[in-house]
Structure 1
């Protein structure tokens, strides 16, 4: 059986050689990055803010340090963890996955996220992705956050409610919105799926990118309002912001 699978894989690679998920260069295996793209990614590692996962340039000392933004205004969730910084190097990787139908990267992303969020997942009862509005889902044909959630769930052995949250209205893109405009844009935009009981559940909320945290914060507040015990956040990319 292994020989048949290996032969088929070899034949397929000869016709359709696997390409780097980020730049499109040929690589050895599907769902991989070339050495150049891998080396350009800035992976998030300690020290970082325990609440939002924002990396520190200098180690502030102590295991439970918070960034200035989280000290001034604590996020709705408990902890957030990210795989890498969302910057010029990682942007093509995420855009290809999010808008370019490069879905073969989902298993690798799931492994990376499960590793980055191991301390969150080991305590979790349920994984829930940030939802897309039905019209945007129809246009894109898939919810990238749901694909990541399913991949993380497989890696961590945790249940996933892929449609646990619903987006009630189609909010405009937030790329050029200020922090406060983003909050207003998503306020009241989500609902828990009818019949899903999150009472007492420790939930890990999944999305592809964290910028200001407006969307994730609104989803976290909704889950807590509906009885969730805790909400943690796990994302693939984390925008690095200037601290106040």
Structure 2
């Protein structure tokens, strides 16, 4: 078996997930890419996971945006800031069919999600409308959610949420316009409602910008009987990004 694995490494050497250079193990980053990837650590907003300046005082802190915008979920985390290599990795997964990004991304997300996880947590991805799914061929959030479930050994329901209302791209819209566009766009699958009643749902998405999509998903979960909702994203936009 060892000889077979060695042979595979000769034929298919491990490469950095970001730049493609040779590395020691699969699904990793080389030293320079690791250094240049904006991992989120230290003090963060307890609602969205964006990094905050200073040190924590032992209690939950919140960013200005989450203090000014009502969030329907209670807690949230993100693994990367959406800039530089963070943005590059998200776009590689989302538009470049780079499914090899999923495994390391799930590891990073599982690490930052630890404060949110309980034995009552049900993982669920933010859904795509079927027209967008047909065009893209996969839901990157579902891939991340399933990989996260494997890392955390928590249950996942890939089709807990559905998106019956087709909406145009949110790019370029303001916060209020985004929320209005997504009003009623996401619902709990009628056949999956029993799975979330009385549970904490961990919503998984690739990027949080305004939070409008996650808000619509969280509201759908609460309307169907969820006890609580947390959010987890691979990347979070930040004002200084």
> Could you tell me the TM-score, scaled by structure 1's length?
0.91
Whether 1:204 aligns to 2:202 is: yes
Does the 8 Å contact 1:21/1:96 carry over to 2? no
Q: Deviation of residue 125 (structure 1)?
A: 2.6
Which string of whole-angstrom CA distances, capped at 9 and with x for unpartnered residues, describes residues 137-194 of structure 1? 1222211111111111111111100111111123222222211221122111111112
Compared with structure 1, are the counterparts of its residues 140 and 9 closer, same or farther at alpha carbon in structure 2 (3 Å cutoff)? farther
Write the distance in 2 (CA, Å) between the matches of 1:94 and 1:156. 21
Does the 8 Å contact 1:52/1:75 carry over to 2? no
Does the 8 Å contact 2:78/2:232 carry over to 1? yes
Write the distance in 2 (CA, Å) between the matches of 1:74 and 1:181. 15
What's the RMSD between the two structures over aligned residues?
1.7
Does the 8 Å contact 1:84/1:236 carry over to 2? yes
Whether 1:93 aligns to 2:108 is: no
Compared with structure 1, are the counterparts of its residues 9 and 101 closer, same or farther at alpha carbon in structure 2 (3 Å cutoff)? farther
Does the 8 Å contact 2:36/2:84 carry over to 1? no
Compared with structure 1, are the counterparts of its residues 141 and 10 closer, same or farther at alpha carbon in structure 2 (3 Å cutoff)? farther
In the TM superposition, structure 1's runs of 4+ consecutive aligned residues that sit over 6 Å from their partners are none
Does the 8 Å contact 2:48/2:78 carry over to 1? no
Write the distance in 1 (CA, Å) between the matches of 2:114 and 2:50. 17
Q: Deviation of residue 123 (structure 1)?
A: 4.7
For these two proteins, the number of residue pairs brought into alignment is: 238
Structure 1 residue runs of 5 or longer lacking an equivalent are none
Which string of whole-angstrom CA distances, capped at 9 and with x for unpartnered residues, describes residues 42-76 of structure 1? 22123111122221123364512222222223311
Write the distance in 1 (CA, Å) between the matches of 2:66 and 2:182. 20
- Match 1:120 to one of 105, 110, 116: 116
Which string of whole-angstrom CA distances, capped at 9 and with x for unpartnered residues, describes residues 60-106 of structure 1? 64512222222223311100101111112211111111121211222
Partner of 1:229: 227
- 1:94-243 matches, within 5 Å, as 94-196=90-192, 197=194, 198-241=196-239
